[in-house]
Homo-oligomer: A and B are copies of this chain.
Amino acid sequence: MPATEPSIPTLAAIEPRPDREHFLISDLCAEFGVTARALRFYEDEGLIAPKRKGLARIYSHRDRARLAWILRGKRVGFSLAEIREMIDLYDIGDDRRVQRQVTILRCRERIEKLEEQKQDIDAAIDELQQFVDLIEGLPHSATDKRN
C-alpha cells in the first residue's frame, strides 16, 4: 500500500491561503502578530516542526494551521505543555485501540475544562456588566441578554 498522505484534518479553521505554497517565518510573524523568537521557541518545545531549506524554516499550510491552534490555545489559557499534549493527541491518528480511548478521554476532559472556563467567563462578564450598570446609575437593568 503506497503512502497516500493519511489526510488527517488540518486543525483550526482559519482563512485558507491557496495563493501561497509555503511561508517564511516572517510571513507567519506578520500574519499572527508574534515574534520569530516565539516561533522558534515553539519549535524547540516540539509544538511545531517546519521543514528547512538550508537553514531557513519553511512552514507548510499545516504548520500554519497548527500555529493558529497554538495561539488560540494560549488565548484560552492553556500552557504550551498542555497545548503540545493536545496536538500530540491529534497526531496519533493511527490504529492502536487503547491509545484511541485515551485520546478520546483526554479530549473530553479538555472540553469539560473549557466549559467550566466559559462559565467563569460568563460570571465575570455578568459582574462587570452589573458594575457598569450600577456606576451609570441605571436602576439595576436585569442582566440584558443582547446575544
Contacts and interface: CB of A to CB of B under 8 A. Distances in A.
Interface of A: 9, 11-13, 69, 72-73, 75-77, 86, 89-90, 93, 100, 103-104, 107-108, 110-111, 114-118, 120-125, 127-132, 134-136
- How many copies altogether? 2
Interface of A is mostly: helix
B72 A104 contact: no
A102 B28 CA distance: 35
22 contacts: A9-B130, A13-B127, A72-B123, A72-B124, A75-B77, A75-B120, A76-B117, A76-B120, A76-B121, A76-B124, A86-B128, A90-B131, A93-B135, A104-B135, A104-B136, A107-B128, A107-B131, A107-B132, A108-B132, A110-B128, A114-B124, A115-B125
